[in-house]
Structure 1
Amino acid sequence: MKVKFFLIVNVLFITSFINAQSAGITFNFGMGEQKADAIIFKKDKQKINGIVKFPSFEDKKVKIKVGEENEKFASSDVDSIQIFDSNKKLSYTFIWTKTKVYKKKGTEFKVIDERWICKIMTGKASLFLGGEEYGIKEVKVEDEKTKEKVKVNKMQVVSKEVNHYLKRSNEDFPVLVSMSSNALSAGYNAFFKEYGVYYFSDNPEIAKKIEEKEYKYDDIEKVVNLYNAKREKKAESKSALKATKIKITPPEKSESKTKTTKKK
């Protein structure tokens, strides 16, 4: 009897949960840490230190607790928010920015209005997360040396769709390259297969592996690391080549300059 009652309660809970979701009410289960020590950098060069609530994708205001006081700032007045971990080390940066979406064959873009996105990787191409809500959660990742799964705390989009943006230093706005979902992710690789190939067209090897589905949307961090590493090696090779080029003045020119000086 107790078992039947327990099952009925569970069914009713799930049913009410589904109805609530369809009615627009969001239950924040397993959302992770959503506040942290941070510095807000305003566009007027003002810096505010305090505990910041991670802004949602389209939040028009940023909330920060400075001492015992709660303050709010318009997102349009903020340049960036730097998030620090317990060791006071910079972990993530939120920026309020426009973004781009490919329109046609990787040559045209549609510009999307400002939203809060979070930089999770910095390099020649920096990687950003975008989504309705953010949280720092414990996740399993593969250790590069041992190849074993280890637990780390990482910034995540913790509700519905997850967008990944990339931006090189010479690009004006981050470009949407990959999408997935915290629910069902079926079909999302088609997006990465198309737009990933466009974005990484300057690296034929990576572009080909994306096109052939060797790299999928959930490999985005691995792909960005590989892309940045190759770009850095290329830059180092150019620097080394430049350093070996020594300008030598031909002897006859030096002699002629000396004679001219003596005549004067």
Structure 2
Amino acid sequence: MKTINNTLAGQVSANIELGGSIHPFVSTYTSATLKDHHVVIKASQAVFSPFRIYTVELKIANGAEPGTYPLDGKPGNTVGLAYDPPTTVQLDSYRDIEGEFTLTETASEQQIDGTFYCTAKSLNPEIRDLATFTEGKVSFRSETSHRQSTGYLRGTLNLPTPDFSSSRPHMSFTEPGFLQVVANDDNDDKNAPRHLWLHIPTSKLGEKTLPISPSEDGDTAVVTLIAKVFYRATSGTVNFTYDEHLKKLTGTLNFSVSGPGHDDVVFSDGSFEITGLSEA
């Protein structure tokens, strides 16, 4: 498995209809991985009020020639699509069952260009609503000239796989007024990848310590963890220093998630050091 890079915003877009509403998906964060001879593009869109994450994943055979390929969920297909609506648990994820993906250039780890439309069905048989994708577009470029963050974010979870370690965190400023850190766990589990999102209000970057809460009012930091389930931190503390000149964020992080429907989750002994703003 080879991680290509974290890429610019807007490289994956589509209109997604589900449950009678249409959501305009435009990726705000995209990562790409070369895995098992496929380019796996994971595109996420972060939306606030309340904070939630939409994720579209496309798996495209490396070296696939220009042409139109089915999106019908059959094993061995050249292209496959998965969709995770906000707060979706792993077993509720959607997979393509009908549609097409048109490649306009030969697929490679440097470039994916294409359009798509499809219908997707939840893996949970109790969920009968279908997700419909229209006006789908992919314009992926792996260009080393784009600025990327460097550093790490790590800590310990009270989960079956306790170690959380990200060696390629992505840091950028995002509306409505947060410094955003996205950390994908290097301990990759294709069945349940883990991601951590940290948001520090830009108006508080001169502080040294902030409490963590679910509130987005700009007085506290916000932490979201995806680990099979969408978790929103209910309490915790982030101690940090942000160097505006160096664009460097360092500090420690501890938080917990409590609430109905799941056991308490605790992230402890967290630390991070991230330099440079990724282009977004």
Fold shared by both chains (TM-score > 0.5): no
Between Structure 1 and Structure 2, which shows a larger proportion of strand residues? Answer: 2
- The structure with higher relative contact order (CA 8 Å, sep 6+) is 2
TM superposition score category, shorter chain reference: under 0.3
Q: TM (normalized to structure 1)?
A: 0.23
Q: TM (normalized to structure 2)?
A: 0.22
Between Structure 1 and Structure 2, which shows a larger proportion of helix residues? Answer: 1
